[in-house]
Amino acid sequence: MFHHREQIAAGTWVGFTDAGAGNLASRLGGDPAAVARNRAALLAEMGVTRGSLRFMHQVHGTAVHRLGPTEAPGVPVADALVDGSGTSALAVLVADCVPIVLVAERADGTTATAVAHAGRRGAAGGIATATVQALRADGGERIRAWLGPAICGSCYEVPAEMRAEVDAVLPGSAATTRDGTPGLDLRAGLERQLRAAEVEVTVVPGCTRESEDLFSYRRDAGTGRTAGLVWHTRP
Ligand SMILES: [Zn+2]
C-alpha cells in the first residue's frame, strides 16, 4: 500500500502510496465505488478517521489553499493545501508529477503541514516556493520537504525549447533522457529551489515511468493516481 511511510515526529507521518493502494482519484472516470473502497482502506491503514483526509482539485496552477479551522468538507481548487492547525490529514494525487509533502515547526513547538502538486507547469510557476511562503507566513521556522516518486529525467522527454524555458525558472531541472534527447528532472530542480529557500529536503527514490508499482500517466494515462500524504495519529 505504501511506497514509503515514515514517522517524522511523534504522531506525525509522511507517506507515498504505491499502485497496490489502488487508484485514489475520483476524476479519472473509473468506478467511484472502487475509489471509495481504496480510500477507506488507506484511511484504515493510516489510522485516521473517515472524512478527515483532505484532497484538492488540482489544476496545474500555483494557488495555495489554507484550510480554515472550521472549514466545511470540500475539495478546493488549488495545487497546494496548507493546514496551519497541524491536525488535518492532507493528500496530493499524482501520476508522474512530483508530490511534495511539507512539515513546518514553529518556535512554540506546534506544526503546520502542507502538500503540493508540482507538475511541469506548477513547478515552473513556483508552486513549491509559494507553499513554503505560506508556511513561513504561518510562523513556520524549520521546514522539511519530502519529494515523492515522479517521472525521472531519463524518462521525461520534452522539446528542447521547453527544457530551456523550465530550466530558466527552475535551474537544475534540465536533463537528458536515456535516448539522448532533451529531458526534464523536475525533482532535481525542485530540490535545488527548496534548498535555496532553506528547506531541508528528502528525495524519496522511485521513477513512476519505470516502476510498475507506481502509477504513470506517460506509461498508461488511465491507470490511476498515487497519493502523497501527511497525517497525524495519537502516539
Ligand atoms: Zn525514469
pLDDT tens by residue, 142-170: 999 999 999 999 999 999 999 999 999 99
Q: For residue 122, is pLDDT > 80? A: yes
- Tell me the residue range of the domain where 73 lies: 2-144+206-232
What pLDDT, on the 0 to 100 scale, is given for residue 49? 86
Ligand 1 centroid–CA 235 distance in Å is: 37
Ligand 1 centroid–CA 149 distance in Å is: 10
DSSP category for residue 153: T
Question: Which whole number is the average pLDDT over 212-219?
Answer: 91
Percent of the chain with pLDDT over 70: 100
Ligand 1 centroid–CA 185 distance in Å is: 9
Does 193 reside within a domain? no
Number of other CB atoms surrounding residue 186 within 10 Å: 28
Ligand 1 centroid–CA 26 distance in Å is: 26
Question: Which whole number is the average pLDDT over 191-195?
Answer: 98
Residue in the block written with cell 500500500: 1
Ligand 1 centroid–CA 10 distance in Å is: 34
The amino acid present at 156, given as its one-letter code, is Y
Ligand 1 centroid–CA 169 distance in Å is: 22
What pLDDT, on the 0 to 100 scale, is given for residue 235? 64
Whole-Å CA distances, 226 to 59, 159, 167: 16, 27, 26
Does 189 reside within a domain? no
Phi and psi at 122, nearest 5°, equal: -65, -40
Does 157 reside within a domain? no
Ligand 1 centroid–CA 99 distance in Å is: 16
Domain tally, the chain = 1
